[in-house]
Amino acid sequence: MIQFVGPQHEAPLPGPATRVVDLAGRLLTPGLVECHTHLVFGGDRAGEYAERAAGIPYREIAQRGGGIATTVRATRAASLESLIEQAHPRLRRLLAQGVTTAEVKSGYGLDHATELRILEAVQALDAAQPIDLVGTYLGAHVVPPEHRDHRARYVREVIEHTLPAVAERGLARFCDVFVEDTAFSLEEAEAILAAGVAHGLRPKVHADQLDEGGGAELAARLGAVSADHLEHISDAGIAALAQAGTVAVLLPGAALFLGQDARAPARRLIEAGVPVALSTDCNPGT
């Protein structure tokens, strides 16, 4: 039965409790969850952008002391107040784009005090603005320069010193490790993530970003919440994620900004039954 014909603004309301809200052309949408960010850091890496644009691989930049190490130096020099101040504009931009929950990793301190300071900044930012923030401890981002010749000592520091402090103070819900030949081995990652689980932190893995290194299989075996990046994931890695139900977090913007030809095989992951999420990888390098 036709009940009304005419302009939409003249149509009768369905009932007395109906309320009309004029959004003036804006869009009402569910809040987005940003599940992989590194948005608390000091300084920037604008100087490296031209090098990457010229085709210099990220691995080469990192090996000569750039990349993550550049941000580590700036972050170590930043106060808690400075880290909070620098992060606010990034959070405002996320909010303007519809993000209402965001995961935020540490990983640009790579020493006990600075890693805790980053996560303290995340906690303070969570209380100071509308986006719900969830902390992730990423002390195993790369081996810091001062530990390059005795990396086992740094792994012990992460496991025995910083991880317990993060858990005791409730600064994070997750523990993440970057598994790569320029970062941490499978054995080191497994030891760190197992220690995180023992302290109540659920595991995540930066996996197979620059090369196929078994990170996806490790994430699946440990029951990780997610395996992230996956530009070079193997068929065995895809099968392992599907069987474990581990989420594949794809970060296409990172590959684009690093000038990588490889892209995560999204369609193959989906067809294999792997849960897939997208994220920005908001960080100073990409």
Are residues 130 and 96 in contact, defined by beta-carbon separation less than 8 angstroms? no
- At 137 the pLDDT is 99
Pick the CATH number of 36-278 from 3.90.1150.10, 3.20.20.140, 3.40.640.10, 3.30.70.260: 3.20.20.140
What is the rounded distance in angstroms from the CA atom of residue 202 to the CA atom of residue 218? 14
How far apart are the two ends of the chain, measured CA to CA in Å? 57
Model pLDDT, residue 178: 98
CA angle 121, 125, 127 (to 5 degrees): 125
The token pair at 172 is 């994070």
- The more confidently predicted of residues 14 and 208 is 208
Q: How far apart are CA 257 and CA 264, in angstroms?
A: 14
The per-residue pLDDT for 167 is 98
47-101 residue pLDDT tens: 777 777 777 777 777 777 777 888 999 999 999 999 999 999 999 999 999 999 9
Q: Which residue has the higher pLDDT, 16 or 252?
A: 252
Over the stretch 164-211, which tens digit does the pLDDT of each residue have?
Answer: 999 999 999 999 999 999 899 999 999 999 999 999 999 999 999 999
Write the burial class of residue 183 (CB in 10 Å: 0-12 exposed, 13-18 middle, 19+ buried). buried
Task: Assess contact for 204 and 228: CB atoms under 8 A.
Answer: yes
Q: What does the pLDDT look like over 104-157, one tens digit per residue?
A: 999 999 999 999 999 999 999 999 999 999 999 999 999 999 999 999 999 999
How many Cβ atoms from other residues are within 10 Å of residue 61's Cβ?
A: 20
**202-207 and 174-178 beta bridge pairing:** parallel
72-172-141 Cα angle (round to 5): 30
Question: How far from 155 is each of 188, 189, 190, 247, CA to CA, in Å?
Answer: 7, 9, 11, 26
Query: What is the structure's pLDDT at 146?
Result: 94
The strand pairing partners of 276, in sequence order, are 248
Confidence at residue 11, expressed as pLDDT on a 0 to 100 scale: 83
Angle at 245 between CA 218 and CA 225, to 5 degrees: 60
Using CA atoms, how far residue 54 sits from 44, 257, 258, 283, in Å, is 19, 12, 11, 20
Nearest residue to 212 via CA among 240, 242, 253:
240
User: CB count, 10 Å around CB of 191?
Assistant: 18
What per-residue confidence (pLDDT) applies to 74? 95
Say whether 148 sits in a helix, a strand or coil: coil
Residues sharing a CB contact under 8 Å with residue 180, sequence separation 6 or more, in sequence order: 206, 209, 210, 211, 213, 215
Confidence at residue 54, expressed as pLDDT on a 0 to 100 scale: 74
Query: Rounded CA gap, 206 and 228, in Å?
Result: 5
Which residues pair with residue 132 across a beta bridge? Answer: 101
What pLDDT does 180 receive?
95
Encoded tokens for 86: 């620098």
Average pLDDT over residues 25-30: 85
Q: Residue holding tokens 């608390």?
A: 40
